[in-house]
């Protein structure tokens, strides 16, 4: 009488940690004969990466064979049940800003949805900042006692205060140029002349009051960044300083 033997059938349960991020193939409860080997392909979705692969609860990332972003893992000489879990993470990139000029400033990042609506705002940033793959990000320069000259990217200058990147899929570096506001330049027109002297006197005697930054009757902006003695005010000291510059008694 002949006796037949059938191979012992085992299974490997292959799954992902989330419904988004990628897939593992084959998936589910995968049958495998005792002593055989079984390979699995792990494929991340667009903008995702393989963060970890766990075999029976232990990381096996060091054993993953990659072909580009796609990974493969093989169970050899299978003699017991196993579990394989793939974990995915959203890919991130770096948005960096290099400053140019003698001025300074901070930056505000606004994350936008596909309709251009703001979903998140991060203020007073000093880049670099991390951005998710596929994101739309609007970066705004906030000068500090400086005038913002513009953004420089790939040799092109943009004079606007904000710059937007859409569908980010690589690291980005942009230059932000600032010019320091000259001490004594009360109306911030780039020159020190009698207009600054008159404005400083008007502020000193109370003929013109207001917050740190305000406009005179002509619409010119007045700022205490023009302060010359460190008291964060515009007054007679600034008027005298400007008058000496205008008359040639002192050099800037």
Rounded mean pLDDT, 32-52:
96
Domain that includes residue 229, residue range: 194-247
Which range among 40-44, 122-126, 142-146, 185-189 has the greatest average pLDDT?
40-44
Last residue of a domain, one of 122, 149, 180: 180
Tell me the CATH number at 151.
2.60.40.1140
What is the predicted pLDDT for the residue at 252? 57
**Nearest CA-CA partner of 49 in 16, 94, 91, 85:** 91
- DSSP track, 110-174: EEE-TTS-EEEEEEEE-S-EEEETT-EEEEEEEEESEEEEEEEETTEEE-SSEEEE-S--S-EEE
218 has pLDDT over 70: no
Which range among 72-76, 164-168, 201-205 has the greatest average pLDDT?
72-76
State pLDDT tens for residues 103-130: 888 899 999 887 888 999 988 888 899 9
Question: ∠ CA(215), CA(217), CA(221), 5° rounding?
Answer: 25
What is the predicted pLDDT for the residue at 90? 95
36 has pLDDT over 90: yes
220 has pLDDT over 60: no
Same domain, 15 and 53: yes
Question: ∠ CA(222), CA(223), CA(225), 5° rounding?
Answer: 150
Same domain, 16 and 59: yes
| Number of domains comprising the chain | 3
2 has pLDDT over 60: no
pLDDT over 90, % of the chain:
47
Same domain, 172 and 98: yes
Relative to beta strand 156-158, strand 129-132 is unpaired
> Omega into 128 within 30° of 0, i.e. cis?
yes
Model-level pTM? 0.68
What is the predicted pLDDT for the residue at 3? 55
Strand partners, 118: 112
Q: Which residue has the higher pLDDT, 160 or 71?
A: 71
Q: In Å, how far from its chain's centre is CA 22?
A: 25
CA-atom Rg of the chain in angstroms: 32
207 found inside a domain? yes
188 found inside a domain? no
165 found inside a domain? yes
What is the predicted pLDDT for the residue at 199? 84
What is the predicted pLDDT for the residue at 201? 85
Q: What is the mean pLDDT of the chain?
A: 85
Same domain, 97 and 63: no
Same domain, 148 and 129: yes
């Amino acid at each position: 009488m002949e006796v037949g033997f059938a191979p012992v059938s085992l299974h490997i349960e292959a799954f992902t940690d989330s419904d988004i991020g990628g897939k593992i193939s084959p998936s589910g409860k995968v049958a495998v004969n005792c002593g055989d080997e079984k390979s699995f392909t792990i494929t991340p979705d667009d903008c995702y990466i393989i963060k970890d692969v766990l075999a029976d609860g232990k990381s096996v990332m060091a054993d993953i064979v990659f072909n580009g972003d796609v990974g493969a893992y093989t169970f050899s000489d299978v003699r017991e049940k196993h579990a394989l879990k793939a974990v995915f993470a959203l890919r991130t990139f770096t948005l960096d800003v290099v400053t140019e000029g003698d001025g300074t400033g901070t930056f505000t990042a606004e994350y936008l949805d596909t309709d251009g609506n703001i979903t998140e705002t991060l203020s007073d940033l000093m880049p670099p900042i991390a951005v998710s793959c596929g994101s739309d990000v609007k970066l705004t320069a906030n000068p500090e006692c400086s005038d913002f000259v513009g953004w420089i990217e790939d040799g092109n200058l943009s004079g606007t205060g904000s710059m937007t990147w859409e569908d980010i899929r690589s690291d980005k570096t942009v230059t932000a140029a600032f010019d320091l506001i000259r001490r004594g330049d009360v109306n911030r027109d780039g020159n020190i002349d009698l207009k600054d002297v008159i404005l400083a006197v008007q502020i000193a005697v109370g003929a013109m009051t207001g917050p740190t930054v305000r406009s005179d009757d002509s619409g010119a902006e007045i700022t205490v960044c023009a302060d010359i003695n460190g008291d964060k005010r515009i007054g007679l000291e600034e008027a005298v300083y400007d008058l000496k510059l205008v008359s040639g008694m002192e050099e800037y």
